[in-house]
């Protein structure tokens, strides 16, 4: 047990990660050393930042809390605190179930944790957006809003995080400038619903204006957008994406389903025809864009006909990136109150597997079209045999990677086979132009 050291464990999404990074910065400013997601936690204090989105995530959070509770019982840990979505949602029940935790905090009270650890009343030191980055220093997540107003039937996020609340554009742009000064080049813009940015503050969509201003900041090399919403989509964003070279031709837009029956039951407030029109317009106005989406199967009332329609739709739409997950009943949601969870778990999993098998074939087909193309790649890390990077079409940790083979001396050959024009050592966090040579599953192999 290391005195003055705090282990912070972050579970769940990148929005949680930003919260943990802000907490770490404040703890470090009052004299503590913070270690994030250590494989061998040894600090005298542990803080677990939990996820409470779906059943599997809640189970993982509980398991991790119990592991650290056991360490505390054995005397291997002095204090244990829990924060995040799970404790925000189950603030009354959890202390009874796991009394080993010294104190439970919600999702938004990270300064409460700092005060508890330090034992005195404190104000935020520095700028509130400053944080200790846990990602490689060349990229960061940029959270521009909290909460959600959509209230989809299956989703507990609005119950946990509350109403959609935009951050001011001025503060976000200040944070971008600060992150650039820290060495960040790639900005992954996140919120539960990017499409709604600005409506609560300014009375109108402001995402396009924000992205436009971000793109003009010196040092911003890539801007990537995560979690737009198809209903009431801000179309003025598309010319901005097409205009700026440093706005990645990439959009993460959660569609969930295509059947009109399911879209209605899910409270998506959109029809298949309207949803298809959104995708068509995005692809038309931003040629070559990579669309990532997420689909939900096994929602109450999803018939075999609905699912078959979804499968045929995925084949027709040919999404560049796609994930799927099975419905999980969440307390307090409309679906939990008004629908019966009537599809067996095995059937839900079968549907996920079938959908992902379809997508795997589509992905392989689309990746093969990349062979021979010259692309700009950002190098994330170095492994034994390869430098690993990403194109503008790939988000960290969830999308494809580009592998560039190294020589035994750690250098990279330049030029095509038989036409080498020297060697070079690549730098992590730098951009290089590569030629895609071959594809394999979800990886691209390239030469410099």
Residue 409 has pLDDT above 70, yes or no: no
Q: Mean pLDDT throughout 353-371?
A: 95
Instruction: Give the range among 93-97, 118-122, 324-328, 410-414 with minimum mean pLDDT.
Output: 410-414
Tell me the per-residue pLDDT of 149-167, one tens digit each, with 9 for 90 and over: 999 999 999 999 999 999 9
Same domain for 229 and 359, yes or no, is: yes
Q: Does residue 128 fall inside a structural domain? A: no
According to the model, what pLDDT value does residue 221 have?
98
Q: Does residue 14 fall inside a structural domain? A: yes
Same domain for 355 and 383, yes or no, is: no
Residue 406 has pLDDT above 60, yes or no: yes
The residue range of the domain holding 270 is 139-368
Separation between Cα atoms, residue 243 and residue 245, nearest integer Å: 7
According to the model, what pLDDT value does residue 419 have?
47
Same domain for 362 and 407, yes or no, is: no
Q: Does residue 311 fall inside a structural domain? A: yes
According to the model, what pLDDT value does residue 422 have?
62
Residue 238 has pLDDT above 90, yes or no: yes
According to the model, what pLDDT value does residue 424 have?
78
Q: Mean pLDDT throughout 380-391?
A: 94
Point out the domain boundary residue: 337, 368, 399: 368
Q: Mean pLDDT throughout 163-172?
A: 97
Q: Does residue 127 fall inside a structural domain? A: no
Q: Cβ of 246: how many Cβ atoms within 10 Å?
A: 17
Q: Does residue 218 fall inside a structural domain? A: yes
Q: What is the CATH number of the domain that holds 86?
A: 3.40.50.12160
Residue count of the chain: 448
Same domain for 155 and 68, yes or no, is: no
pTM over 0.85: yes
Least Cα distance to 193 among 243, 245, 219, 158 occurs for: 158
Residue 412 has pLDDT above 80, yes or no: no
Tell me the C-alpha to C-alpha distance, in Å, between residue 394 and each of 74, 152, 222, 249, 447: 44, 27, 11, 10, 18
Same domain for 103 and 238, yes or no, is: no
Q: Mean pLDDT throughout 21-26?
A: 96
Q: What is the CATH number of the domain that holds 424?
A: 2.40.50.140
Separation between Cα atoms, residue 314 and residue 80, nearest integer Å: 45
Q: Mean pLDDT throughout 411-429?
A: 69
Q: Does residue 239 fall inside a structural domain? A: yes
Point out the domain boundary residue: 118, 152, 186: 118
According to the model, what pLDDT value does residue 418 have?
43
pLDDT band at 2 (very low <50, low <70, confident <90, very high): confident
Report CA dihedral (302, 308, 313, 316) to the nearest 10 degrees: 170
Same domain for 103 and 215, yes or no, is: no
pLDDT band at 92 (very low <50, low <70, confident <90, very high): confident
Same domain for 203 and 344, yes or no, is: yes
Separation between Cα atoms, residue 324 and residue 233, nearest integer Å: 22
> How many domains, in total, are found in the chain?
3
Same domain for 91 and 230, yes or no, is: no
Q: Does residue 86 fall inside a structural domain? A: yes
pLDDT band at 21 (very low <50, low <70, confident <90, very high): very high
Residue 425 has pLDDT above 80, yes or no: yes
According to the model, what pLDDT value does residue 214 have?
98
Same domain for 144 and 273, yes or no, is: yes
Same domain for 54 and 96, yes or no, is: yes
Least Cα distance to 100 among 78, 115, 118 occurs for: 78
Contacts of 138 (CB under 8 A, 6+ apart): 183, 184, 185, 186, 378, 380, 428, 429
Residue 39 has pLDDT above 70, yes or no: yes
Same domain for 360 and 383, yes or no, is: no
Same domain for 159 and 99, yes or no, is: no
Contacts of 324 (CB under 8 A, 6+ apart): 294, 295, 296, 297, 352, 355, 356, 359
Least Cα distance to 320 among 366, 280, 358 occurs for: 366
Identify the top-confidence range among 58-67, 216-225, 380-389, 438-447.
216-225
According to the model, what pLDDT value does residue 55 have?
78
Q: Does residue 33 fall inside a structural domain? A: yes
Q: What is the mean pLDDT of the chain?
A: 93
Largest CA distance in the chain: 69
Q: What is the CATH number of the domain that holds 160?
A: 3.80.30.20
């Amino acid at each position: 047990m290391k005195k003055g050291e705090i282990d912070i464990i972050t579970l769940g999404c990148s929005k949680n990660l930003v919260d943990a990074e802000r907490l770490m910065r404040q703890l470090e400013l009052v004299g503590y050393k913070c270690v994030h997601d250590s494989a061998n936690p040894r600090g005298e204090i542990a803080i677990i930042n939990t996820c409470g989105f779906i059943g599997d995530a809640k189970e993982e959070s509980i398991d991790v809390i119990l592991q650290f509770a056991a360490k505390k019982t054995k005397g291997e840990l002095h204090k244990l605190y829990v924060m995040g979505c799970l404790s925000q949602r189950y603030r009354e029940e959890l202390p009874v179930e796991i009394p080993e935790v010294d104190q439970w905090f919600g999702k938004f009270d990270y300064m409460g944790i700092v005060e508890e650890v330090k034992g005195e009343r404190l104000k935020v030191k520095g700028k509130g957006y400053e944080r200790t980055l846990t990602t490689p220093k060349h990229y960061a997540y940029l959270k521009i809003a909290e909460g959600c107003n959509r209230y989809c039937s299956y989703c507990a996020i609005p119950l946990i995080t509350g109403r959609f609340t935009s951050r001011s554009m001025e503060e976000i742009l200040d944070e971008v400038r600060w992150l650039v000064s820290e060495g960040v080049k790639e900005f992954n813009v996140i919120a539960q619903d990017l499409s709604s940015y600005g409506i609560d503050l300014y009375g109108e969509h402001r995402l396009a204006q924000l992205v436009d201003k971000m793109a003009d900041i010196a040092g911003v090399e890539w801007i990537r957008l995560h979690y737009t919403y198809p209903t009431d989509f801000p179309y003025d964003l598309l010319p901005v994406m097409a205009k700026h070279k440093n706005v990645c031709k990439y959009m993460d837009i959660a569609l969930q389903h295509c059947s009109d029956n399911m879209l209605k039951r899910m409270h998506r407030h959109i029809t298949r025809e309207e949803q298809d029109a959104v995708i068509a317009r995005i692809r038309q106005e931003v040629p070559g864009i990579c669309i990532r989406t997420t689909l939900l199967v096994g929602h109450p009332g999803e018939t075999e006909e609905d699912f078959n329609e979804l499968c045929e739709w995925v084949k027709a739409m040919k999404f560049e990136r796609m994930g799927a997950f099975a419905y999980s009943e969440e307390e307090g949601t409309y679906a939990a109150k008004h629908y019966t969870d009537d599809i067996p778990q095995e059937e839900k999993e079968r549907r996920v597997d079938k959908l992902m098998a379809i997508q795997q074939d589509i992905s392989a087909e689309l990746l093969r079209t990349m062979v021979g193309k010259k692309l700009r790649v950002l190098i994330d890390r170095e492994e034994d045999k390869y430098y690993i990077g990403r194109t503008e079409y790939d988000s960290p940790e969830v999308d494809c990677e580009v592998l560039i083979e190294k020589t035994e001396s750690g250098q990279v050959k330049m030029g095509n086979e038989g036409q080498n024009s020297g060697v070079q050592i690549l730098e992590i966090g730098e951009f290089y132009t590569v030629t895609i040579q071959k594809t394999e599953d979800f990886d691209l192999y390239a030469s410099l």
